[in-house]
A and B are shown apart, each in its own frame.
Chain A
Amino acid sequence: MYKILDAKELTTNIYLMVVEAPRVAKNCQPGQFVIVRMDEDGERIPLTVCDYDREMGTITIVFQTVGAETTRMAALKAGDSFHDFVGPLGCASEMVHEDREALARKRILFVAGGVGTAPVYPQVKWLHSNGIAADVIVGAKNHDLLILEKEMEAVAGNLYVTTDDGSYGRKGMVTQTIQELVDEGKEYDLCIAIGPMIMMKFVCKLTKELGIPTIVSLNPIMVDGTGMCGACRVTVGDKVKFACVDGPEFDGHLVNFDEAMKRQQIYKTAEGRAMLKLQEGDTHHGGCGHCGGEN
């Protein structure tokens, strides 16, 4: 069992939990992820790592309730435990292995969207602790849904916040801010974009035009997370890669986002049914037009 030391709702439907997992914390690096199972019957849920503390032996996870299982998970409180908590999974961000001097010369731009702000944070923090300041754009639908602003401010070079409705910071999509920064004369050697698949797709489209190499972090469906099931396969250039062991970070200009987005829909009907069952109990047997149940 893996004890939850702290649990809070950051904003509507986005939760942060600090979990005791010394083996994971010991070797965890920016860019990696974990898989959790809340109880004996739980599904294996891959989650990005938002922070780690080797001394305390803790991992901080941030997740959004997107289906029945994450909704169940959101009810966990400090003092409760996860039944299973495994990691770190996937490869560390490339920069971790890069020559520090060469890295320090790079002008790096992070683009974070929504809950994707969480996995961006440990990367910016890692750079900061190595004396490197990176620019960070954080995008959210509106002010209420913005997360980790203070934390990010403390480690970023420049932080640019943009909201879709203009309720806070700049107004518009993250791509608009990228364009504005470049128009203002900013130059970048590397962009790291993490957020909803559709956001990463459009960021990559723009950075390709702008000639900025871009890395994205993918979160496809997976089961074991160790390369065994192949559910997470993604086309990168002309090769099929497993996001769990080859990724989760890939060259964004080579990722086939359209295919990746369609692959995320595989269990949507089943997920919809499970969600309705959770909300309505066993009384729901389809026919609502939303869950995919036939009768």
Chain B
Amino acid sequence: MDVLTKVPVREQEAAARAKNFDEVCLGYNKEEAMSEAERCINCKNAQCIKGCPVAIDIPAFIEQVKLGNIAEAYQIISQSSALPAVCGRVCPQESQCEGKCIRGIKGDPISIGKLERFVADWARENGIKPEPAKEKNGRRVAVIGSGPAGLTCAGDLARLGYDVTIFEALHEAGGVLVYGIPEFRLPKEDVVAKEIANVESLGVKIEKNVIIGKSITIDELIEDEGYEAVFIGSGAGLPKFMGIPGENANGVFSANEYLTRSNLMKAFHEDSNTPIMRGKKVAVVGGGNVAMDAARTALRLGAEVHIVYRRSEEELPARVEEVHHAKEEGIIFDLLTNPTEILEDENNWVKGMKCIKMELGEPDASGRRRPVEIPDSEFEMELDTVIMSLGTSPNPLISSTTEGLETNKWKCIVADEEFGRTSKEGVFAGGDAVTGAATVILAMGAGKAAAKGIHNYLSGK
């Protein structure tokens, strides 16, 4: 065995998977996992742990995998993470744990994500659950939103003995894990639902169809329903549009709408009661992970799909793995291209998009080179569907109905990083509602920090 090279992970063939919604990555089996684990040199001063937003004891769990003690490995991971099967699939490991791995200096870093995924999948298949708190303290905490931040915060608090209720606005728990990330990257029934059931098995209650700020306010939760602390993990929900002519034409969708129809409402099934536009030629505007998800969904629904992005490949904010998968499946990348107008037919339907070619100029505030229009380079694309994937901003439903809750100029809730404390006593926040759109694992890290913050706050009360 070459210690510098990672054990390759099995995947569905690109041509086959471009036509189905089954999971792309097939994961390791036990033999492959144990063989990959052999490569870990169990560093004393493990850098990988520092790279993990929830600080999983990575060398310790890998050591157990090496020995074939997968149940032990699972209990080590679940002390730090409520959603290992999710994280093993969607974390950007290359810039976190794996990015810091010493093995990565000379060869491939250890495939920590794939090992985590294997351990979590094995535990699920063998009916192993995280261990609940031995004693309950009966103190009530409300968690708003059942996405990664909320589930993590709730799980950690339940483990400390708190009586936790999660309030979810939609009819299904999971937040972005169910409405945003597609089935082919994150299976809903087999993975997401089971990890949520694990959080519930710790004693966490989930009340769906409750919109905080509309059905009930935070102040009412505290005053009328007896919650002693509240964690806001409501995510960043509002889709952005470009503000160009023709954007309200029929056939222009936000990535949120398109993905919600497909993922949450299962519109990718022919027999779903919820319709989705099955376009023939689709442009997805944007270059993030959400844009890749929307593009790969449209492809699976039968379209020729173009990613239209105003910077170059190097600046694509999506994970390299996602871009690689998208290309393999046949997504066409129109880079250094910016839409200027959406063209409609006489019935208001999209018939094309006017674009202009761009080149890269000086670096801007984000450190990335600023795209500049090339004069007289306009051209038209013929299309029937445009999906706008330009990012999201926080939903003001909570901040506008909670007195004394400070927000910044981007309408994000202001909370400290260490403990998630907001300007309002007893109210904590974390995840996209605080940072704006980010990753699943960062939201989990924030949920974890806030659980500590809430525990400190209530312990001193």
Contact = CB atoms under 8 A, between A and B. Distances in A.
Given A229-B239, A263-B250, A274 B261 contact: no
Contact of A231 (B171, B247, B253, B264): B253
A104 B273 CA distance: 46
- The binding surface of chain B is classed by DSSP as loop
Interface in A112-129: none
Given A27-B215, A226-B169, A43 B273 contact: yes
Interface of B: 169-171, 179, 208-211, 214-216, 237-239, 241, 243, 247-248, 250-251, 253-254, 256-257, 260-261, 264-266, 272-277, 347-348, 395, 397
A271 B274 CA distance: 9
B257 A231 contact: yes
A102 interface: no
Given A228-B237, A230-B239, A240-B248, A263 B260 contact: no
B211 A86 contact: yes
Nearest to A82: B209
Closest 10 CB pairs of A and B: A270-B275, A229-B257, A262-B348, A86-B209, A230-B254, A84-B171, A228-B237, A267-B275, A43-B273, A230-B239
Contact of A228 (B241, B273, B347, B395): B395
Contacts of A271: 275
A87 interface: yes
B176 to A, nearest CB: 10
Interface bin, chain A: 35 or more
20 contacts: A23-B209, A27-B214, A27-B215, A41-B266, A85-B209, A86-B210, A87-B211, A89-B211, A226-B237, A226-B397, A228-B237, A230-B238, A230-B239, A230-B254, A240-B248, A262-B348, A265-B347, A270-B275, A270-B276, A274-B273
A35 to B, nearest CB: 9
A26 B216 contact: yes
Interface string A35-66: 00100011110000000000000000000000
Given A230-B239, A265-B250, A271-B275, A84 B208 contact: yes
A270 B276 CA distance: 8
A43 B214 CA distance: 21
Given A23-B216, A43-B265, A223-B265, 7 more contacts: A26-B216, A84-B208, A228-B179, A228-B256, A240-B243, A267-B275, A267-B277
Interface in A170-225: 223-224
Interface string A251-295: 000000001001101110011001000000000000000000000
A169 interface: no
A160 to B, nearest CB: 34
A83 B239 contact: no
A263 B253 CA distance: 11
B218 to A, nearest CB: 13
* Residue of B211, B248, B260, B273 most packed against chain A (CB within 10 A): B273
A74 interface: no
B347 A230 contact: no
B147 to A, nearest CB: 12
Nearest to A223: B260
* Residue of A227, A235, A242, A267 most packed against chain B (CB within 10 A): A227
A242 B238 CA distance: 10
Contacts of B273: 41-43, 68-69, 274
B171 A83 contact: yes
Contact of A230 (B215, B256, B395, B397): B256
Contacts of A231: 253-254, 257
A227 B237 contact: yes
A37 B171 contact: yes
B208 to A, nearest CB: 7
A31 interface: no
A270 B261 CA distance: 13
Given A44-B265, A262-B348, A87 B237 contact: no
Given A227-B238, A230-B239, A266 B257 contact: no
B215 A229 contact: no
A92 to B, nearest CB: 10
Contact of B275 (A27, A262, A274): A274
A24 interface: yes
A227 B257 contact: no
A30 to B, nearest CB: 15
Contact of A24 (B215, B251, B254, B274): B215
Contacts of A27: 214-216
Nearest to A271: B275
A262 B171 contact: no
A247 interface: no
Given A262-B348, A271-B275, A86 B171 contact: yes
Contacts of A245: 395, 397
B169 A240 contact: no
B211 A226 contact: yes
Nearest to B180: A228
Contacts of A223: 257, 260-261, 264-265, 274
Nearest to A2: B209
B214 A88 contact: yes
A189 B213 CA distance: 32
A204 B264 CA distance: 37
A143 B129 CA distance: 63
Contacts of B348: 259, 262-263
A266 B278 CA distance: 12
Nearest to B348: A262
A85 B209 CA distance: 7
Nearest to A245: B397
Nearest to B207: A23
